[in-house]
Amino acid sequence: MTTAVDRFRTAVDTRDLAALEDLFTEDIRLYSPVKFTPFEGRPMVLGLFGVLLRTFEDFRYVGEFAGTARTSADGTEAPAAVLLFRATVNGKEIHGIDLAHLAEDGRIKEFTVMVRPQSAVHALGEAVLAGLVADGLVPAP
């Protein structure tokens, strides 16, 4: 059986932003390494993924683990998957993980991104902010 996480990986691998829309709950929350508060709601998270798909160079998933984990929003135990990735942003090599929590209907309800090293986090933050401002999703600082 193909899960939302499998379809998510395929959409990211093929850079298919439209395919992501049905995979997220309307009230999805995305926790980013470059912002203290989460991005909230499907329109904002889809906008963010549009920026990320343009920003990451040579993005590839290199592993996956499945199980359960407590969500940040309400602490409930939910099916979850950890996707390990590698990418480059502005010449900086990034190692990271995506943690996807699934809702009862199987769609992704919470998504957490963690990256290292710190210099890559900084490069990613600058690139993503520029993309969000260019797309009109956040005001210029």
Q: CB of 110 within 8 A of CB of 73?
A: yes
pLDDT at 2 over 80: no
pLDDT for the residue 91: 87
pLDDT at 53 over 70: yes
**Calpha distance 73→63 (Å, rounded):** 26
**Calpha distance 30→16 (Å, rounded):** 19
pLDDT digits (tens, 9 = 90+) for 22-47: 999 999 999 999 888 999 999 999 99
Residue 65: Cβ-neighbour burial (10 angstroms; 0-12, 13-18, 19+): exposed
pLDDT digits (tens, 9 = 90+) for 56-105: 999 999 999 999 999 888 888 999 999 999 999 888 899 999 999 999 99
116 pLDDT band, cuts 50/70/90, is very high
pLDDT for the residue 1: 60
